[in-house]
A and B are shown apart, each in its own frame.
Chain A
Amino acid sequence: MPLKWVLHWQPNAGTTVNSQIINEVTQCVESINGVKEGRWKATITFYKPMIREQTLAWDFPRDFLGIALPEQPNKYYLIIRLQRIVLEADSSIQMIMEKLQSYKSRLSLNFEGFQYQLGDFQLRVGKVLPTHSENLRGIVMEVEYLPISSMEKARQVMEDFMDIWQQALSKRSLPGHFMHMEPNFAEYGLADQYTSQHTAVQYATVMAQLIATVQAVQARN
């Protein structure tokens, strides 16, 4: 399958994300001739262990995530980031998790927005919103390069594209920039050929960054 990079908006120190930035980013995609194609939505759920003895809470993973991706509507991804585990399962694994009553959903975030076609690239810009809320928590962007599925072979063309993109966006003098943090896929047992598990791992990495950003802001205040 085609490879993609998942990027997140890194606000400049002292600033936060707002919907005006989303509007500017969307306009920027359209200004470089991105053709709007439709909506997309991914969901990340944070699970927490249901434990009987709270003092033993540290025995259980605190970064256990479930991810539903639009590219694989019948699949669900479970990730424990600190232990570098990513699992691909059928969507019914969510029902199994519910029946086991050992972990429960603590918080769900939607990543949603529009998809654009731009030559061989597909871009998705999305807001990060808690479910049932309009409280913007972040901005993500997916850049997918359709002809290639090898991460390494596509690296140059992806970097070139990002240069053009950052240049176009810099004209708008926004208070931040899109950041690409490539996880070490090999640590998760993933190879160079791109799969949806790579996407799930990237989302988990982006999520960790968003949390770190929010925590940094809170620490400053």
Chain B
Amino acid sequence: MECVVQGIIETQHVEALEILLQGLCGVRRENLRLHEICLKSGPNLGAVASEVRLICNLEQTEPTWTVRHIGGAMRGAGAEQISVLVRTMVESKASKNVLRLFYALGYKLDHELLRVGFAFHFQRGTQITVTVSSVNKMLQLHATDEAVPVTPGIQLVEVTAPATSENYTEVVAAVSSFCEYLAPLLHLSKPGISTGVVPTAAAAAASLMSDGGGEELSS
């Protein structure tokens, strides 16, 4: 399982966000360059239609592959009341021929994306990952070198944390409380519920850029 929230930020404020995150997390950023291939089961395959993501990490000298399955979100009155999405997620690293295998099994390419940006991995009540990336589409099949932004000038921010059915309430609390620190720059909500950019972003960004860091906020 994982807990996840998403938000968007204008590219011009990304540098300020990075300074803030750096101050809050106290770890170095990691560069992100992920080629994400979304596959769907062919029309006749499977008890139900299914979807799987193959993610190729292009930051590594030798690209590495991960298979990711995102399951259904937790439902019920309790789930609706919390501001964080809790869903099943299973990942497995795989060797580089994984796309060929899934094609052979009867999966078809649905779409592909290139995410370029950075990530912070840190411990704050729980293990949290923040990714800030521009989402790009390919004009030609697998042509990651010629990718163009899906939403120019806007970047996607995603906060995720691994959880189990036993501890998810604590993880949700840790993620929610972390998100409050980012509130002046962006609003984070459950995926699919877009809340747009926040009006205070420009002022908050200007302030962060002038005092040169988020030390004050992290204390």
Contacts and interface: CB of A to CB of B under 8 A. Distances in A.
B16 to A, nearest CB: 37
A87 B106 contact: no
Which label, helix, strand, loop or mixed, suits the secondary structure of the A interface? mixed
A103 B48 CA distance: 11
Counting chain B CB atoms within 10 Å of each CB, the highest count among A52, A99, A100 belongs to A100
A100 B52 contact: yes
B44 A80 contact: no
Contacts of B106: 49, 59-60, 102
A78 B98 CA distance: 10
Nearest to B88: A99
A50 interface: yes
Counting chain A CB atoms within 10 Å of each CB, the highest count among B46, B52, B88, B98 belongs to B46
Interface string B83-102: 00000101111110110110
B141 interface: no
Contacts of B101: 78, 80, 85, 87
B97 A100 contact: no
In the complex, which range does the number of interface residues on chain B fall in?
20 to 34
A91 B93 CA distance: 9
Contacts of A157: none
In the complex, which range does the number of interface residues on chain A fall in?
20 to 34
B191 interface: no
Nearest to B71: A99
B67 interface: yes
A80 B98 CA distance: 12
B50 interface: yes
A87 B98 CA distance: 7
Contacts of A78: 101
Contact of B97 (A60, A99, A103, A189): A189
A53 B50 contact: no
Nearest to A189: B97
B47 interface: yes
A197 B97 CA distance: 12
Given A61-B104, A85-B101, A102-B105, A96 B52 contact: yes
Interface in A39-56: 49-53, 56
A50 B45 contact: yes
Contacts of B69: 96, 99-100
B41 interface: yes
A92 to B, nearest CB: 4
Nearest to A90: B92
A72 to B, nearest CB: 12
A93 B105 contact: no
Pairs of residues from A and B, 8 with the lowest C-beta to C-beta distance, nearest first:
A102-B46, A93-B92, A90-B92, A89-B94, A100-B50, A92-B92, A88-B95, A101-B47
17 contacts: A51-B45, A52-B44, A53-B44, A59-B106, A80-B101, A85-B97, A87-B94, A88-B95, A89-B67, A89-B94, A89-B95, A92-B90, A93-B94, A96-B67, A99-B50, A99-B69, A102-B45
